[in-house]
Amino acid sequence: MRCPDARAGGRRRILVATRNAGKAGEIRSLLEPLGVDVVTLDELDPDRRLPEPAETGETFAENARDKAAYYARASGLWALADDSGLAVDALGGAPGVRSARYARDDAPAGATKRDVDAANNARLLRELDGVADADRTARFVCRLALSDGRETLLEADGAVDGLIAREPAGENGFGYDPLFYLPPLDRTAAQLAPEEKNRVSHRGRAVREFARRLRRLLDGA
């Protein structure tokens, strides 16, 4: 794993600890205007030599902190990690922290991220079969944590409310976006252009709050 300088040309370098290109793109678009150089895991560790940390936390906050500390220690950079997921009221808050692996066992061996997403969405629809439209309320939740490997430097939260649609719609986004219907916009998250999604998404809200706090931290550095 390459370990670049923590600063390049006077700019702070921050590792965004994800291999999800969609997620990394959302975060990069909101942080780079601050004068931060964003480095992704695929750029830093293209050969995937660094194993992923186990997600053993019971909350989004615990998982975000643990991942940020792990990647900061491994890279020597400040590391920004998130734990995000879908909480469905009719399912008691599930899939929650298990959102990304909700139906992983239903996906074929060697499944791609797209395959796992499809399996997750299919399971969610099965679990909500027979649930009335008005009772299909849900929210996307995002918790961000920034670590230097020794301590958590910053945290931020974001959430957005919606409903679970009865069938997927839209080609944009990833994860549960095709099923997450936003009543004020009369569209699913997957039907939104990236810029519009950033304005309303849980991650967009969390990253904007994080960016405000990061600006103050950098100004005081």
Q: Which of 83, 135, 157, 177 is catalytic?
A: 83
Place of tokens 């997927």: 168
SS3 call for 100:
helix
Closest by CA to 23, choosing from 214, 199, 194, 159, is 194
Cα–Cα distance measured from residue 178 to residue 171, given in angstroms and rounded to the nearest whole number: 7
Q: Are 142 and 159 in contact (CB under 8 A)?
A: yes
Phi, psi of 131 (to 5 degrees): -80, 130
Residue 12 pairs in a beta bridge with 7
Residue 83: active-site member = yes
- Could you list the active site residues? 83
